[in-house]
Amino acid sequence: MNLFENIPEHLAEELTEVLAESSHVRIERIVSEGHASQEDFWYDQEQNEWVLLVSGSAVLEFEDHTIEMNPGDQVLIPAHQKHRVASTSKTEKTIWLAVFYG
């Protein structure tokens, strides 16, 4: 599989696909197109999440800071660190590679 293939032309909702998983780790491809978390929504996950932004751009918001992400940027989000997607590119697909573990 190629991370840039089999992406619908228009995405009404963010596309999430599990690429591989075991009892201890899950790897996902996430494709966004101008998507963002609802304003009152925060992720509060049981697992650590390592995220690599492959293409596009995004802004991740945490309770006390914001991170602007561009291709090649990566971030480790510890379990239970509240975060949300403030925005993703509206002019191109934003492709994330996310690894959940622990």
* Residue 56 banded pLDDT, cuts 50, 70, 90: very high
> What type of residue sits at position 56?
G
Judge whether residue 58 has pLDDT over 90.
yes
DSSP letters of 9-37?
SS-SS-EEEEEEE-SSEEEEEEEESS---
Domains and CATH numbers, the chain: 15-101 (2.60.120.10)
Which region, left, alpha or beta, applies to residue 15 given φ > 0 means left and ψ of -120 to 50 means alpha? beta
What's the pLDDT tens digit per position in 24-53? 999 999 999 999 999 999 999 999 999 999
Judge whether residue 65 has pLDDT over 90.
yes
- What's the pLDDT at 38? 93
pTM of the model: 0.92
Closest CA to 69 of 79, 78, 60, 80: 60
